[in-house]
A and B are shown apart, each in its own frame.
Chain A
Amino acid sequence: EAQVTQNPRYLITVTGKKLTVTCSQNMNHEYMSWYRQDPGLGLRQIYYSMNVEVTDKGDVPEGYKVSRKEKRNFPLILESPSPNQTSLYFCASSPYDAGRTDTQYFGPGTRLTVL
């Protein structure tokens, strides 16, 4: 089954404790992206990756890091989480040459609470 998986699905942590949210896709997609969703703001892009070892900032990259060492994985790293990073996080993937008609495939979401 074609899918994007994220782990963990739920996480409660404390300020300053480094954490990683994993994202993996089994569709051999080149493009992967992270979004955060906050009430009243919709989804905003954090980082994206066009392929292995190619990443770039989205609209709200502060406080986050990413890496793309393998095509299927795109982890999101919070080196020193703060309460304003409490949010619902989505990973998404799509083929690089998708064109306009292809949507992005979303993972199930990770609900992060930073105390």
Chain B
Amino acid sequence: AQKITQTQPGMFVQEKEAVTLDCTYDTSDPSYGLFWYKQPSSGEMIFLIYQGSYDQQNATEGRYSLNFQKARKSANLVISASQLGDSAMYFCAMRGLNTGFQKLVFGTGTRLLVSP
């Protein structure tokens, strides 16, 4: 079975600083993908970044980067130069070969608050 663990219920960061949101995962799948989603207070799920288990380099998308440590089974999201609009709930998720890559398993989320 696949499992995602996000141990930080809430995080605070000041505007313009960097912040790391933790995510560890457990899977026996030989091939899998890791995702981060942002959920603002309006409720929609916004895809941020993806990392494949065989990707050699850490994924980056603008101010978002994924610190992927396969041996540790961690996939932390790094947000550089935080903005007030980054205040939201953040979910780590994965999908794997054994579920045909069609099922996303989510963590419980981390609420990020960016202060001026």
Q: Which residues of A contact B (CB under 8 A)?
A: 31, 33, 35, 40-45, 48, 50, 58, 88, 90, 92, 94, 96, 98-101, 103-104, 106, 108-109, 111
Contact = CB atoms under 8 A, between A and B. Distances in A.
A42 B91 contact: yes
Given A88-B43, A106-B44, A108-B43, A48 B103 contact: yes
A111 B31 CA distance: 34
A106 B103 contact: no
Nearest to B91: A42
Given A106-B44, A108-B43, A43 B106 contact: yes
Determine the interface band of chain B, counting residues with CB < 8 A from chain A: 20 to 34
Contacts of A40: 108
B25 interface: no
A25 to B, nearest CB: 14
A43 B37 CA distance: 11
Contacts of B31: 100
A100 B43 contact: no
Contacts of A50: 102
Contacts, number: 55
Interface string B39-66: 0000111010010110000000000000
Given A100-B32, A100-B52, A101-B52, A43 B44 contact: no
B43 A48 contact: no
Please give me the 6 A-B residue pairs with the lowest Cβ-Cβ distance, nearest first.
A42-B106, A106-B45, A100-B33, A43-B106, A42-B108, A109-B43
B101 A42 contact: no
A40 B6 CA distance: 10
